[in-house]
Chain A
């Protein structure tokens, strides 16, 4: 399943928290042809099999949901989750 939502939460030392929900589909869909083209050119330049690279890249992106990074130092905290 493709990642659909990235949540970023930043807590500052004064206690103020910023939460941002980024729906990925509206950002990814327009960029997808450009990214795919860039990947194809890079593969051709470095003599890497294009279909194999595209399939493996797609699988990597599809495996992203469930990833979570939570870093806290003193009063500052950053949380990034991919759903």
Chain B
């Protein structure tokens, strides 16, 4: 209950105004209220169900095509399952990645960050156009 409405009810309780006046005052207060702030995070979730990856290539004159559809639910479950990987295994995987020229410390990737990433994947559209390859990542 906001402060002004409480003041009106106090006046009514003290008998300084009648019930009709209190009602009119409260109605006027409600009219003057600013519109509710739209919460962007409250948008309906679960619109997209699948993550799609489409790759069209032209390799030595031969056309190639990769079309992958992965349920977003599978990605979420995978992130939660991967959170159980013991730290020593992550260390070894990070070391192997570094040897292959991908210096990523997997221990720095927190499950909650990955989950947030998956949650917002339905907004993602990635298009890469090259003369010999076309890559498209999107959700549907």
Chain B residues with CB below 8 A from A69, complex form: 67-68
Question: Is B103's beta carbon under 8 Å from chain A?
Answer: no
Pick from A67, A70, A71, A73: contact of B70, CB under 8 Å? A67
B64 touches A46 (CB 8 A): no
Question: Is A56's beta carbon under 8 Å from chain B?
Answer: yes
A67 touches B81 (CB 8 A): no
A68 touches B81 (CB 8 A): no
In the complex, what residue of chain A is closest to B55 when comparing beta carbons? Answer: A71
Question: Is A48's beta carbon under 8 Å from chain B?
Answer: yes
B71 touches A67 (CB 8 A): yes
How far apart are the CA atoms of A47 and B86 in the complex, in Å?
8
A74 touches B62 (CB 8 A): yes
Chain A residues with CB below 8 A from B62, complex form: 73-74
Pick from B63, B67, B69, B71: contact of A63, CB under 8 Å? B71
CB distance from A50 to the nearest CB of B (A): 10
CB distance from B82 to the nearest CB of A (A): 9
Question: Is B16's beta carbon under 8 Å from chain A?
Answer: no
Q: A56-B80, A60-B81 are in contact. List 5 more A-B contacts (CB 8 A).
A: A49-B84, A59-B77, A59-B80, A64-B71, A73-B64
- Give the interface of B toward A (CB within 8 A): 49-50, 59, 62-71, 73-74, 76-78, 80-81, 83-84, 86, 89
- Give the interface of A toward B (CB within 8 A): 46-49, 52-53, 56-57, 59-60, 62-74
